[in-house]
Amino acid sequence: MAEIGKDVMKAKDLLENGGLVAIPTETVYGLAGNALNIDAVTQIFRVKNRPQFDPLIVHVPDRIRAEQYVEYIPDKAKALADHFWPGPLTLLLKRKPIIPDLVTSGLDTVGIRCPDHALTRQLLHELSFPLAAPSANPFGYVSPTQPEHVDEQLGGHIPYILDGGICPVGIESTIVGFEHDMPVIYRLGGLSVEKIEQVAGPARVQTHSTSNPKAPGQLKSHYAPSKPLILGKAEELLQQYPAHTSGLLTFQSDFNSPYQIILSPNGSLEEAAQNLFSALRGFDKMPIDYILAEPVPDTGLGRAINDRLRRAAATREA
């Protein structure tokens, strides 16, 4: 198992020596290594069992540092960065050659973001290089939102987990690229479409899977727990599946079901997002055969939550 602690200097030391450290962010925990060191980046892919066609996000402490790694920042991207960094927003920008091919899977853009978490911001300020960090889970599984989640799955492969507590946003960053000056959202996430459009004008949402997805988070099946997840209206699902062998995930409603998790009893989509992934992990540990889940209201963060539920549900269909 990995050591779990709050020692930023220890994390810095390990990273400077080419090692990997799990880091907290406001969205989910990341599996971080020096983005400019091929050996460190190679280890990230290996530990996650991640295919090399799936590019990594590069984390920087601020926009000034981001400018060292990208050719230019379009005006709308600048406006978004100024409004929402540090925060759950990843920008796809034309990369400079200093960013290794391995990080971007050969693409000419790099996903770059400035995370909003005190410990990780301190760490990024201490380092002279940016951190490549995918979510700290095995490829295809649910992202970790607590240090214990990381330790359970990757603890045997990494020396240190920087303990930043529970991630307050709970779902991954929103990924935004640009086509002819129009923002294109490739992954729904912790920053809502509405907020992006308020700052950058109308955006196109393009999160559906294709045979050659731009972001593998677009793959139809991703972010999936081990148990089959069935999406539908709770009342109807409970008539089709026995309650004593099914987990039930609801937004607000209480069905008095034996294996039930309510995401937000008072109906907050922010709270639901924060609880979503630990709920899915919780079901994997319960003595049940299925996870029955109802969608949440499809606005604000609800769109990203529903996106994750749909991808989790797609697992057994493919």
Q: How far is the CB of 265 from ligand TXA (least distance, A)?
A: 26
What are phi and psi for residue 4, nearest 5 degrees? Answer: -115, 125
Q: How far is the CB of 121 from ligand TXA (least distance, A)?
A: 13
246 binds, among ligand TXA, Mg ion, none (CB under 5 to 8 A by kind): none
Please give the residue ranges that form the binding site for ligand TXA (CB under 6 A): 25, 27-28, 30, 54-57, 90, 92, 104, 107, 109-111, 115, 133-135, 172-173, 175, 186, 214-217
Picked from Mg ion, ligand TXA, none, the partner binding residue 57 (CB below 5 to 8 A depending on kind) is ligand TXA
27 binds Mg ion (CB under 5 A): no
**Cα–Cα distance measured from residue 156 to residue 118, given in angstroms and rounded to the nearest whole number:** 26
Q: Taking every pair of C-alpha atoms in the chain, what is the biggest distance, in angstroms?
A: 58
Decide: is 135 part of the binding site for Mg ion (CB under 5 A): yes
Closer residue to ligand TXA in complex, CB, 175/200: 175
* Minimum distance from residue 284 beta carbon to ligand TXA (Å): 19
**Contact region with Mg ion (CB under 5 A), list: 92-100, 130-138, 200-208, 230-238:** 130-138
CB of 283 to ligand TXA, least distance (A): 21
Interface with Mg ion (CB under 5 A): 135
